[in-house]
Structure 1
């Protein structure tokens, strides 16, 4: 596979992922961003934790969709994310859902 074919393949996968996002966003109530992933979810529980003087965030998501071009199954029943970086959680409104 040439470099151009690989780039075209990746571009096609990213476009397909965006189209999937556009098709499913109306099913969810929250957008959650971490430093590694982007999620859509219907339930979000954020807990700030400390251990050995370090602060970290534990985020539990229910009925979630994961923005990841390399996952074969993006819909998951529950997700637990632990991160040391900031977490951005936004509640979606009907106006934001209609793209």
Structure 2
């Protein structure tokens, strides 16, 4: 396999992963980013903990999807992540939660 073939394969895999993400994102309530992975989940429990003067994060996700091009099974029932880096958790806005103003209701800026 040439370097170009390998690059094309990796590009195709990343595109497939993006398409899968786009198809499943509406099934989840949260987006979670750690230094190593990106997750979608329906339940997030994030606990800051301290041990030996170090602070770390204990993260438990339920009903999750893992952004990882090399995983064959990206849907997981439960995952626990321990990290010493920052964790970013965002709640996704569901389309029925979003109120779009009707014409003329924006007011004056």
TM-score normalized with structure 1 length = 0.95
Partner of 1:45: 45
Displacement after TM superposition at 1:94 (Å): 2.0
Q: Deviations over 1:19-69 (max 9, x none)?
A: 000000000000000000000000000000111110000000000000000
> Secondary structure of the residue that 2:77 maps to in structure 1?
strand
Paired with 2:92 and 2:54, the residues of 1 have a C-alpha distance of 31
Cα distance between partner residues in 2 of 1:81 and 1:32: 11
Q: Which runs of 5+ in 2 are unaligned?
A: 96-109
Query: Could you say which residue in structure 2 is the equivalent of 1:28?
Result: 28
Whole-angstrom distance in 2 between the partners of 1:79 and 1:88: 16
Structure 1: distance between partners of 2:46 and 2:56 = 11
Question: Which structure has more strand as a fraction of its residues?
Answer: 1
Q: TM-score by structure 2 length? A: 0.86
Unpaired runs of 5+ in structure 1? Answer: none
Count of matched residue positions in the alignment of Structure 1 and Structure 2? 95
Q: What is the Cα-based RMSD across aligned positions, in Å?
A: 0.6
